[in-house]
Every structure is written in structure tokens, then in C-alpha cells.
Amino acid sequence: MNAFEILNDPQRTQARAFDGRLANVWTSMPGIIQSFNAAEQTVVVQPAIRAIQFDKDGVSTNVDLPVLLDCPVQFPSGGGFTLTFPVAQGDECLIVFANRCIDAWWQSGGVQNQAVMRMHDLSDGFAVLGFSSVPRVIGNISATSTQLRSNDGAEYVEVGPGEVTLSAANVNVNASTAANLTAPNINLNGKVNNSTSGGTIGGITINTHTHGGVQPGSGTTAGPN
């Protein structure tokens, strides 16, 4: 027999029934990514908090919640531009549950009718990445600038007061028409390697240009051709 039945307390019985109803209303909770579908931008997520299950005698047991399938992933986006990042197994996230069924919207977009009359259900989760438990927080967060960075801090783009800093083992710039750099002073610290196809400066080919007026002695050559 349930302990609350022995007490015969109507208020506590009602409160227990209310709590039981709320136990099936899902709002948000942390989760752990199990796999990522890059084509559909969805993840399979294991909820990271166990549920409490009571038997008929009121004895509680902690049980894992089911793995959640096809949870849309949130990438910051707007105006035709999106910030993406790789999503890996083991990444932590926040699962946010919609208050109505999202199936029709997810499949077709736009404004849709509810495919199923369900509310705050485990089937309607979104994965928001970036939340971390204490063991997984990243270190050396800048207190004075904004960074787009790797977790270990080795590579980053930093926007601080009056300057922008780029730090990486290799920096690649790919432009389909031109790469423009405008500044009163440009400082290059390091060896400058020419393109194998022969770059140009002021219309002069760097790799294959010639000089006129070459004569033995201490004089200088004419300008490059």
C-alpha cells in the first residue's frame, strides 16, 4: 500500500497527483550528443538527467530517459548567413522541448497544422549547443574581447578595443576576384613566398621579371620589366 494512502491526507494526495502530471511536462534539460546528421542538421541526444519512477508502493527508482531522435540543431543564422561548427559525439547541449508537435513544421517549413495533439513531449526537442558542465568548460576566456576560437585557445579570431587579431598555425585566404588590404602601414614579419604561378605587383611578374641596364661594377640596375 502507498504511504500516502495510509496517511489519508487529501491535500498531499492531490499534490502528489499534480506532481505526477507535471512529471510528464518537458520544458528543457541538458543532453549529450550521440550522433549528428549533417545533411538534415539534426542530432540524436541522450537526456543527461534521469527520471524518477515510482512503483505501486511508492518506492522510487532512477531510470534513463529514452534517446531522442531527429532533434534540430541550432546554428546562429540570419539574413542569408550562418555560423556553423562541427558537432561531435559527446558534445553537451541544452534540449528545449516545444509546447506543440513540430513534425509538420520540421518536414515542410512554413506555418503548419499540428500533426499530433501532444504538448511538451520528448518527441519535440531542439538541441542548442554551447552549454557545458563543469568538467567540460573551456579555459582562458578573454575578459576584454570577443573571440571565435578553438576550445584549447590555440587558434582564434579576436576583436578587441581598437584591433583585430588572428592567430593560427596556417591562414588560408581564398578569393574569387581580389583580396584587398588597406592600411597606412603594412608590416610583414616572416618569409614571403611567391605564388608558383608568379604573382604580380604593379603589373610586374614577381617570379619571371627582368632588369635592364645591368653592367659590372657598383651601379644599380634599372627598374623591373
CATH number assigned to the domain comprising residue 28: 2.40.50.230
* φ and ψ at residue 18, rounded to 5 degrees: -65, -45
As a whole number, mean pLDDT of residues 23-37 equals 92
Task: Say whether pLDDT at 8 is over 90.
Answer: no
Q: Confirm whether 172 is domain-assigned.
A: no
Q: Confirm whether 157 is domain-assigned.
A: no
Q: What is the reported pLDDT for 189?
A: 85
203 secondary structure, DSSP code: T
**Number of separate domains in the chain:** 1
Beta partners for residue 26, in sequence order = none
Q: Confirm whether 149 is domain-assigned.
A: no
Q: Confirm whether 130 is domain-assigned.
A: yes
Higher pLDDT, residue 54 or 132: 132
- The DSSP annotation for 83-102 comes to ------TT-EEEEEE-SS--
Q: Confirm whether 87 is domain-assigned.
A: yes
Full domain range(s) for residue 20: 3-137
- Using pLDDT thresholds of 50, 70 and 90, give the confidence band for residue 3: low
Q: What is the reported pLDDT for 62?
A: 93
Q: Confirm whether 181 is domain-assigned.
A: no
pTM: 0.75
The secondary element (H helix, E strand) that includes residue 160 is strand 156-160
Task: Say whether pLDDT at 5 is over 90.
Answer: no
Q: Confirm whether 216 is domain-assigned.
A: no
Kindly state the cell numbers that stand for 121. Answer: 513531449
Task: Say whether pLDDT at 201 is over 70.
Answer: no
Q: What is the reported pLDDT for 54?
A: 81
Q: Report helix, strand or coil for 20.
A: helix
Which residue, chain included where needed, has cell 584591433? 163
d(CA 53, CA 62): 6
Say which range, 17-21, 47-51, 136-140, 167-171, has the weakest mean pLDDT. Answer: 17-21
As a whole number, mean pLDDT of residues 161-167 equals 92
Q: Confirm whether 23 is domain-assigned.
A: yes
Mean pLDDT of the chain: 86
